[in-house]
A = this chain, B = another copy of it.
Amino acid sequence: MKDAAMQIPTLDDMRSARDRIRPHVHVTPVLTSRMLDEMTGAQLFFKCENLQKAGAFKARGASNAVFGLSDAQAARGVATHSSGNHGTCLAYAAGRRGIPCTVVMPHTAPQAKKDAVRGYGGIVVECEPSTTSREAVFARVVEETGAEFVHPYNDPRVIAGQATCSAELIEQVEGLDAVVAPIGGGGMISGTCLTLSNLAPQVKIYAAEPEQADDAARSFRAGHIIADDAPDTIADGLKVPLKDLTWHFVKNHVTDILTASEDEIVEAMKLTWKRMKIVIEPSCAVPLAVILKNPTVFAGKRVGVIITGGNVDLDRLPWMEGVMP
């Protein structure tokens, strides 16, 4: 990609995405909890993308990519590499359009995620749990199938799709002071930046990241992308590094990147299950963990919290014996 500037999605791209994906995704509900408000001193508005089609916000970006393809492109199918939800969601979108979908994912990914891809008719090809192995195996798959590559996050179609989430949120909740979303590769954060910087520039955008996979936070401080090859965290959706497109949005529009420990993430996850009665992944608990950890940043504020997905292995919950190291 020589001229990355040409690829940066715009507000019009978000609006087109919203029209394109409307038949394929839910307008997800926003939930609140008096108890969590009391605990944090903030007013929290949880945008429940765990209740999204295929169980994650990534249904938005994947649907936008799949339904934006020409018939000729679509006939060759789509392919991606993904630590989980993007693969599931691309398989979901491809299934809706009736085209093939191949997903490269680490053999260590939760069985539930592999089953989910297959459940939507996708093909799973396994790789080692590192970015380098994933990219090598993927290159072979694309060469063999001729499929259209839909990157999990560093793709303008995907970012424009994810951007529809915040567009809904600011229609559902008035007067937000801040939005907090998890950051892995930065697709959701980039979509959030795209929409809010244009439509609600007064809203501060915070990214939340596991301490044990804090490459985005270190990139943010350093002023350039720092990528780790295989970080280890319970928040398995957040292990991937920033790329040029997502770095563009992070660098220009994010107020801060805050981190939480593994224990803090698990505690926030369990608290959300208990108080909100929703099933969320460890990755989605990172925003609440950083809000609980940084009360002075958020107290007295109206804060949108993006709950990104709910695809967990119910037989391996982090508070079950033997699951956490």
In the complex, which residues 274-325 of chain A have their Cβ closer than 8 Å to any Cβ of chain B?
274, 276-280, 310, 314-315, 317, 319-320
Residues of B within 8 Å of A310, CB to CB, are 277
- A96-135 CB mask vs B (1 if < 8 Å, else 0) is 0000000000000000100000010000000000000000
In the complex, which residues 44-94 of chain A have their Cβ closer than 8 Å to any Cβ of chain B?
50-51, 53, 55
Is A151 part of the contact surface with B, judged by Cβ < 8 Å?
no
A51, B314: Cβ atoms under 8 Å?
no
Output the nearest chain B residue to A315 by Cβ-Cβ distance.
Answer: B319
- A1-44 CB mask vs B (1 if < 8 Å, else 0) is 00000000000000000000000000001010011000000000
Is A239 part of the contact surface with B, judged by Cβ < 8 Å?
no
**How many identical chains are in the complex?**
2
Is A157 part of the contact surface with B, judged by Cβ < 8 Å?
no
Residues of B within 8 Å of A319, CB to CB, are 314-315
**Cβ-neighbour of A278 out of B112, B274, B279, B320 (below 8 A):** B279
* A112, B277: Cα distance in complex, Å: 13
Q: A residues engaging B (CB < 8 A)?
A: 29, 31, 34-35, 50-51, 53, 55, 112, 119, 270, 273-274, 276-280, 310, 314-315, 317, 319-320
Q: List 17 A-B contacts (CB under 8 A).
A: A29-B29, A31-B51, A51-B276, A51-B277, A112-B274, A270-B314, A273-B279, A273-B314, A276-B279, A277-B279, A277-B310, A278-B278, A278-B279, A314-B319, A315-B319, A317-B317, A320-B320
